[in-house]
């Protein structure tokens, strides 16, 4: 295990394997955050993994649907997904790319597979916005793979830096309201990862492959682990083989949350207004 003497290392406080569900026009996915077990982890509202090589699981996609009051983050690992919206924007997400969409005051968009067979795999994360930003103008950060740096350490560790910084290398995402950290990390068998985190940031990890040891706990593939607060994370891959995981951390907003489907506001009155605005074509 990596040395954690520079501060109390974070521990695992809860784990979940989530559950299978569907969304959009019937896309099969696995919901890990935003469930009855873990409703949210301020500022994170939801995390879904979609992963299938069966076209029937994804081909119907996510036709036009609205959002208001939060951000959606799509991280593609395999396949192709086309984005389009009611403001004339269009973009193609390919393997290794990220779209960080700030819905703000509202947008109607679609996310449709641009393939009829093969593996479609990725994650979608929802991140809340503070009340001062909920009605901001929508914007996109469409980030192709070549703009996302990867840190390769001498011990074989690979860290794809989407947001935050590692070893002086910063990710391309600009999201100052929650100061997020988002890494995709692969550790060789038995190797450790030790990283300073903002002490009050909420944080979790999801093990994609292999197993991790965090403190006295072991986390297997397919498991999301919520981490305690603290200034440092120290973990290691199991001896049996390499481990791959995503690590996310963000500054809590600490405000009331009112949620209804694709709308996330602070009050029920604001939710009703969002529904009325959508029905009236004002998003």
Whether the pLDDT of residue 60 is over 70: the answer is yes
Please tell me the predicted confidence (pLDDT) of residue 151: 98
Domains and CATH numbers, the chain: 12-279 (2.60.120.10)
pTM of the entire predicted model: 0.95
Please tell me the predicted confidence (pLDDT) of residue 269: 98
d(CA 19, CA 189): 28
Taking phi first (over 0 means left), then psi (-120 to 50 degrees means alpha), and beta for anything else, what does residue 147 get? alpha
**CA-based torsion, 248, 250, 256, 259: positive or negative:** negative
Three-state DSSP state, 256:
coil
Whether the pLDDT of residue 92 is over 90: the answer is yes
Please tell me the predicted confidence (pLDDT) of residue 5: 43
Please tell me the predicted confidence (pLDDT) of residue 43: 98
In the predicted model, what is the mean pLDDT of residues 246-257?
98
Please tell me the predicted confidence (pLDDT) of residue 7: 64
Please tell me the predicted confidence (pLDDT) of residue 90: 86
75: which strand partners?
98, 123
Alpha carbon separation from 259 to 128, 246, 270, 272 (Å, rounded): 10, 26, 10, 11
What is the pLDDT confidence band of residue 175, given thresholds at 50, 70 and 90?
very high
Structure tokens at 183: 């890494």
Whether the pLDDT of residue 12 is over 50: the answer is yes
User: 132-155 pLDDT, tens per residue?
Assistant: 999 999 999 999 999 999 999 999
Whether the pLDDT of residue 1 is over 60: the answer is no
Please tell me the predicted confidence (pLDDT) of residue 87: 84
d(CA 99, CA 268): 29
DSSP 276: H
d(CA 205, CA 212): 10
d(CA 128, CA 41): 10
Whether the pLDDT of residue 204 is over 50: the answer is yes
Average model confidence (pLDDT) across the chain: 95
Structure tokens at 60: 């119907």
Whether the pLDDT of residue 50 is over 50: the answer is yes
Please tell me the predicted confidence (pLDDT) of residue 16: 98
φ/ψ (deg, to 5) at 274? -60, -40
User: 17-32 pLDDT, tens per residue?
Assistant: 999 999 999 999 999 9
Strands (E), 38-93: 44-52, 62-67, 70-78, 81-85, 90-93
DSSP 153: -
Least confident interval from 40-44, 69-73, 83-87, 104-108: 83-87
- Beta strand 27-33 with 44-52: parallel, antiparallel or unpaired? antiparallel
pLDDT over 70 for what percent of the chain? 98
In the predicted model, what is the mean pLDDT of residues 260-277?
97
Whether the pLDDT of residue 39 is over 50: the answer is yes
Three-state DSSP state, 275:
helix
User: 222-241 pLDDT, tens per residue?
Assistant: 999 999 999 999 999 999 99
Please tell me the predicted confidence (pLDDT) of residue 4: 38
Helix H or strand E encompassing 274: helix 268-279
């Amino acid at each position: 295990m990596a040395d954690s003497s520079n501060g109390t290392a974070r521990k695992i406080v809860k784990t979940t394997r989530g559950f299978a569900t569907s969304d959009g026009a019937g896309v099969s996915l696995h919901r890990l955050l935003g469930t009855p077990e873990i409703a949210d982890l301020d500022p994170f509202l939801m995390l879904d993994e979609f992963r299938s090589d069966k076209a029937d699981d994804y081909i119907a996609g996510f036709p036009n649907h609205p959002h208001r009051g939060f951000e959606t983050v799509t991280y593609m690992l395999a396949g192709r997904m086309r984005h389009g919206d009611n403001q004339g924007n269009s973009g193609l997400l390919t393997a290794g790319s990220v779209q960080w969409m700030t819905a703000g005051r509202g947008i109607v968009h679609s996310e449709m597979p641009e393939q009829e067979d093969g593996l479609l795999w990725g994650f979608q994360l929802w991140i809340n916005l503070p009340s001062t930003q909920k009605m901001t103008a929508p914007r996109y950060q469409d980030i192709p793979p070549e703009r996302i740096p990867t840190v390769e350490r001498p011990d074989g560790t690979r860290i794809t830096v989407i947001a935050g910084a590692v070893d002086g290398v910063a990710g391309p995402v600009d999201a100052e309201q929650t100061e997020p950290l988002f890494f995709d990390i692969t550790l060789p068998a038995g190797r450790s990862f030790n990283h300073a985190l903002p002490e009050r940031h909420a944080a979790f990890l999801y093990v994609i492959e292999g197993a991790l040891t965090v403190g006295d706990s072991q986390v297997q593939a397919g498991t999301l682990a919520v981490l305690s607060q603290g200034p440092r994370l120290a973990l290691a891959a199991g001896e049996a083989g390499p481990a791959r995981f995503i690590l996310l951390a963000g500054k809590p907003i600490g405000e009331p949350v009112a949620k209804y489907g694709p709308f996330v506001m602070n009050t029920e009155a604001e939710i009703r207004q969002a529904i009325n605005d959508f029905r009236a074509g004002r998003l």
